[in-house]
């Protein structure tokens, strides 16, 4: 979700991707803090809090140097009452952005893309300003208006209007260009899904393949991700999955089952399906330098301020936790699902946590505490009374006004 519309809506792999293998960059000082033993009781407590705030189900998988911890509460399907499990597939929303950024950084490694070149060099005439570079797009500093602010000014009616609709990338960009830009190119961070629609256009133009093919060949197959799919414009999640529930704007209104949708309004900005295991594998492999060169990973970690205790690189978030540990990944919101997916600097401990509800700020903020329990341990428990920074769920699906 985003600023002007209130709140809505990777097991470790030892595989090396050919031509992109490298060792990770040196760890920054904040990440040198030793990780405490994870607080599994605290993790479960955060998930139960999400349930008490309106999520039908919540789960978390923690991969920690070969040890797997799995916690799940509530239901995956309100109709059948089937329990949610950490093996369920789900829509990962804006975690897709990190996949898209990885593909573009691999293309930069191959000499097919320059991060500091204008987008219009590769997509002539697309954008109204030749100063907007690929780097600006990947770091949300292009100033391109987020078209989802218009699409989802109302959560349910906005969603139902696009649930089965199929957009072209150009149609989505054109929606953005109807509005004034939010900042000059290279200005302050300003989250916009438009940026990663442009990223998808770059991928398809430079490779002459659909983004599905590039995700598959560059990430999914090399890492043996068994639950990760880009099915757009199909509406169904293949295999065993959690259903997702959208919270309407009006209080005391029934949840809307939002599971089946094209996610065409997001595409390369948020349409991937995956599982907690796969996302943990992906993020761990990324941080361990197995998806791009050391130079590419360094570029991905060039941070700009992005809110309280947060920074943004190129399709990658850094969050600085209360115990001094920094974690790296992305959050993802799409109608019916909210995801926290982060890993340690060395990629040895990774957490993916899901609530199958969106457009509910209380649920989102309950899920934020999963990071503290997973990476700060029981010390975080002593701070449970401390109010964490309010989580602006600015990712995909900036829908609704429920707080």
Torsion from C-alpha of 45, 51, 56, 62, nearest 10 degrees: -20
Active site residue 285: no
Burial class (CB in 10 A: 0-12, 13-18, 19+), 79: exposed
Instruction: Identify which of 152, 99, 141 has the alpha carbon closest to the alpha carbon of residue 279.
Output: 99
Least Cα distance to 380 among 328, 331, 342, 325 occurs for 325
Q: How do beta strands 317-320 and 349-355 pair?
A: unpaired
- CA distances in angstroms from 122 to 118, 205, 267, 398, listed in the order given: 8, 7, 20, 29
- Tokens read off for 257: 């089952």
Length of the chain as a residue count: 403
Joined tokens for residue 60: 């978390």
Instruction: Give φ, ψ of 58 to 5 degrees.
Output: -155, 145
Task: Report d(CA 24, CA 162) in Å as an integer.
Answer: 41
* Phi, psi angle pair for 200, to nearest 5°: -65, -40
Q: Which residues are CB-contacts of 390 (< 8 A; sequence separation ≥ 6)?
A: 308, 365
Distance CA 51, CA 366 (A): 9
**Residue from 13, 45, 94, 242 carrying the catalytic annotation:** 94
Please tell me the chain's helix, strand, coil percentages from 3-state DSSP, rounded to the nearest 5.
30, 15, 50
Are the CB atoms for 288 and 17 separated by under 8 Å?
Answer: no
CB 99 within 8 A of CB 282: yes
User: Residue 217: CB partners within 8 Å, gap ≥ 6?
Assistant: 209
Name which of 4, 6, 90, 72 is nearest 361 in CA terms.
6
* Residues taking part in catalysis: 94
């Amino acid at each position: 979700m985003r600023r002007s519309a209130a709140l809505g809506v990777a097991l470790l792999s030892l595989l090396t991707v050919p031509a992109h293998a490298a060792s990770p960059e040196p760890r920054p000082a904040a990440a040198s803090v030793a990780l405490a033993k994870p607080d599994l009781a605290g993790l479960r407590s955060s998930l139960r809090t999400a349930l008490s705030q309106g999520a039908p189900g919540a789960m978390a998988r923690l991969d920690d140097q070969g040890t797997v911890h799995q916690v799940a509460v509530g239901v995956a399907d309100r109709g059948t009452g089937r329990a949610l499990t950490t093996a369920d597939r789900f829509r990962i929303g804006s975690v897709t952005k990190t996949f898209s950024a990885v593909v573009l950084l691999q293309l930069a490694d191959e000499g097919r893309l320059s991060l500091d070149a204008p987008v219009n060099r590769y997509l002539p005439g697309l954008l109204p300003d030749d100063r907007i570079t690929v780097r600006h797009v990947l770091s949300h500093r292009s100033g391109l208006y987020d078209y989802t602010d218009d699409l989802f000014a109302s959560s349910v009616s906005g969603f139902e209007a696009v649930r089965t609709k199929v957009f072209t990338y150009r149609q989505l960009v054109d929606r953005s260009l109807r509005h004034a830009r939010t900042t000059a190119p290279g200005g302050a961070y300003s989250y916009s899904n438009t940026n990663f629609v442009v990223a998808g256009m770059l991928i398809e133009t430079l490779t002459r393949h659909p983004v599905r093919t590039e995700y598959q060949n560059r990430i999914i197959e090399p890492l043996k991700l068994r639950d990760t799919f880009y099915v757009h414009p199909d509406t169904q999640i293949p295999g065993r999955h959690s259903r997702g529930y959208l919270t309407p704007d009006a209080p005391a209104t029934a949840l809307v089952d939002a599971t089946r949708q094209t996610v065409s309004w997001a595409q390369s900005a948020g349409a991937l399906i995956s599982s907690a295991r796969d996302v943990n594998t992906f993020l761990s492999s990324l941080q361990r330098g197995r998806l791009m060169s050391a130079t590419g990973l360094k570029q991905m970690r060039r941070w700009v301020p992005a809110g309280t205790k947060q920074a943004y690189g190129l399709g990658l978030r850094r969050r600085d936790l209360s115990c001094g540990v920094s974690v790296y990944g992305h959050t993802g919101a799409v109608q019916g699902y909210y995801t926290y997916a982060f890993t340690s600097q060395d990629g040895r401990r990774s957490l993916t946590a899901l609530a199958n509800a969106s457009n509910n700020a209380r649920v989102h903020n309950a899920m934020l505490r999963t990071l503290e329990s997973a990476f700060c341990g029981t010390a975080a428990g002593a701070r449970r009374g401390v109010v964490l920074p309010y989580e602006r769920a600015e990712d995909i699906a900036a829908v609704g006004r429920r707080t």
